[in-house]
Amino acid sequence: MVKQSIQIFARVKPTKKTASVYCVDNEEPAGSILEFLVPKDLADGFINNKKETYKFRFQEVFDQTVKQEDIFEAIAKPVADSVLSGYNGTIFAYGQTGSGKTFTITGGAERYSDRGIIPRTLSYLYQHFSQDSSMVYTTHISYLEIYNEVGYDLLDPRHEASRLEDLPKVTIMEDPDQNIHLRNLSLHQSANEEEALNLLFLGDTNRMIAETPMNQASTRSHCIFTMHVCGREPGSVTVRRSKLHLVDLAGSERVGKTGVCGQLLTEAKYINLSLHYLEQVIIALSEKNRLHIPYRNSMMTSVLRDSLGGNCMTTMIATVSVDKRNVDESISTCRFAQRVALIRNEALLNEEMDPALLIVRLKREIQSLKEELSMVTGEKREDQLTQEEIHKMEELVKVFLDDPDCEVTLALGPDMRKIHYCFSLLSIGNGGGDHPSPPPPVVVPDQKDSPQLQPADLTKLREMLTQRDNEISILPMLQPYKYYSSSSLSSVCDYQSENLSMGKQEAFEIFRRDHEDRLTIEDNKALLKQRSEGKGRPCWELQIQFTSSEVEEVDPVEENIRRQMDEEKKSYKSTFGHLKTLKMEIEHLQLLLEQSKVKLQRDFQDWWSQEAARLQVTSLPLFVRCRGMSLHKSFIPLTGDQQTDADILGFIRARHNLLNRTGTVHTI
C-alpha cells in the first residue's frame, strides 16, 4: 500500500500581452510558488481591506514558455510508471474555459510537437510493452463523455450517424462491494500504438464543441479516456490489472460575465453544477472524521470515486489565465487546487490469481504426480503417446543435438514412454520402424583452388544464410503501409471539386488563399513530404546491405563471420526502430492534415453562407466608396430566391478586388 497526497501542478497559459499580475518562484525547496498581484481599486473607497497578494504552493509551476514534452516528463511519466507497476493512476486538468486544459491533455492539431499528455502517454506505454520481454501485456481502451449530466460512449460507431438523443446512454451500476460498473460503455482492445491513437482521434471527433465568448472551440462536456492494462509473466498465474484515467474537464465560466444564452447557457449550468459537486466531494474528503462523502451527487464524481480518496495515484493540473480580466477565476482555481492537495489516497497493488491459468497449472501438476507415482510403483502405462507429444519430443531431441554445450541435459520428466521414445531417436543402430533415421554425413569434394571446409563449418554457414533469409523476409512487411506520394500531397487539403459549381470552387480558392491556417497546412504538407520521402531509403539500403553480405560471407575464418553478423544485426535493429518512429510521425501528420481539411471546409461553408446572406440584404442600391477613388454605384436587381453561385461569386470578387486595391470598403 502506498499512501500519498494528490499531486498538484500549475500551468500558466501563454498570453500575447505583458502580464504583470503574477510571478513564479521555482527556487523554493518545498515546492514552487505562484503569486498573484491584485492592486486595490480606488473606486472601492479609501478604506479597502482587500488583499493585494495571493500566494499558492504547488509541486511545480510551469510558466508560459514550457513545452508539451516537459509537461509529460514531469507530470504524466511518473503516473504511467506506477500503472506499469500495477497501481491505478489518474491525471485531470481543472480551470476556467479557455485556460488550456484540452491543449494540455489532448494537444493541438497544428504541429506534431503540440501532442498532449494522452498521445505521449500512449507512445510511452506501448514502447515499454515492446521492450519488456519478461511480461505479457493486454490493453483495452474506453472513452466516456458526460454531457449535460448524461453519459455517452464516444467510441460508439453510431455516434456520427445518429443524433445525440438517439444514442444509448451510459448508466452507472454498483455491485455489493461498492465497485462502479458502467453499462453501455464499450471496451476496445488495442494491440499497438496505432490502434490506440485511432480510437483517441475517433473520440475527439465525436466530442461536443461550441464557440463561446471566452473560447472559440470550447469543450462542452467532461471526457474520461481510460486505459485498462493487464500484465503477467509467462507461465505465472498472478495477473496485475491497473487502469489509467486521463480526464479533460469542461471549463467553468461565469454566465453573467460571458453573456451566453440558449443552448450554451444550459450547457454552462450543467458544467458549473457538476464542478460544484466535485468541489463538495473535495471538501468532504479534506475534512477529518467526515462519515459521508457525496459521490452520488453527479455522474463524474461517481466514476472518479477511486481517483478521489480511493485506490489510485492521482495528479491534478491547474490551468490558469493571467489576463487581468481572468485573475479572479485563476485565484479561485488555485484555491481549489490547495483543497485537493489535502486529500490522501491509498493505492494498492492490483494483483490477483487468474482462475483459468491456475486450473491449467494444477492439471499439469496432477499429471506430473501421476507420472511419478507410476515410476515408483512400477506400473506400466498402457496409453500411447499422442501426435502432439511425439512432435514435441522430436523438437526437444533436435535442440539437444544442435546445442554445442556439452553440459546441457534433456529434460523429459518422469514418463518412461517419453524416455523410451527419445532413446530410440538417439540410438545410432535403431532399425527403424516409424522412427526417423539419422541424416547422412556431409561429403565435401576436394578442390585445389578453394579452402577445405569441415562439415561443422558448412553447417554454420548454412544456418547463417538461413538467418539472413529470415531477416530479409521481414522487409516486405514494411511495404503495406500506405503513405502520401509527392503528387498527392498537393491535394491533401483540396476541396471536393465534384460537389461544387465552377463559381463556388473559384470562391473557395480565394477563401483558402486568405485563410489563417494556410501557412500551418503548407508547413505540415512539406514536413509530411519530407518524412514520406525519407521513409523508403533505409529499407532499400538495408536490403542492399543484406544482399551484399550473402556474397561476401564465403570466409573460412569463423570469427570474422560472427563479427559481421553482430554488426548487421545492430544495423538492422537501428534501422527498424528509425522506420517505426517515422511511421508514427507520418500517420500523425496525415491526421493533422485531415483535421485541417475538415476545418477549412467548415469555415468556407460558413463564410459562403454569410456572403450569400449579405448579398440577399442588398436589394437597395449598393454604394461602395474607396479611398482615393471616385464614387462608384451599382445596382443588384436580383432577389434572394433568384441568386445563383455566379451572383455570389461576382459579389465576392468585387469586394476582394476593392480590398486588394485600397484596403478599405465602406458600404452606405
Please, are residues 356 and 130 in contact by the beta-carbon 8 Å criterion? no
Say whether 97 counts as a known binding-site residue: yes
* Number of neighbouring beta carbons within 10 Å of residue 156: 21
- Is 131 annotated among the ligand-binding residues? no
Tell me if 95 is assigned to a ligand binding site. Answer: yes
CA separation for the pair 578, 572 (Å, rounded): 10
Neighbours of 619 (CB within 10 A): 13
Q: Which three cell numbers stand for residue 192?
A: 499497438
Question: How many whole angstroms separate alpha carbon 20 and alpha carbon 421?
Answer: 86
Q: CA quadruple 81, 83, 84, 86: dihedral positive or negative? A: positive
The Cα 559–Cα 157 span in angstroms is 58
CA-derived radius of gyration, the chain: 34
Burial 262-284 (b: 16+ CB within 10 A, else e): eebeebbebbbebbebbbbbbbb
Long-range contacts, stretch 553-559, CB < 8 angstroms, 24+ apart: 553/461, 553/464, 553/465, 556/451, 556/453, 556/457, 558/457, 558/460
- Count of alpha carbons within 13 angstroms of residue 334, beta-carbon side: 26
Whole-angstrom CA distances from 520 to 166, 317, 329, 592, 602 are: 37, 28, 32, 10, 17
3-state SS, residue 560: helix
Which residues carry a binding-site annotation?
A: 95-102
> Which residues participate in the annotated binding site for ATP?
95-102
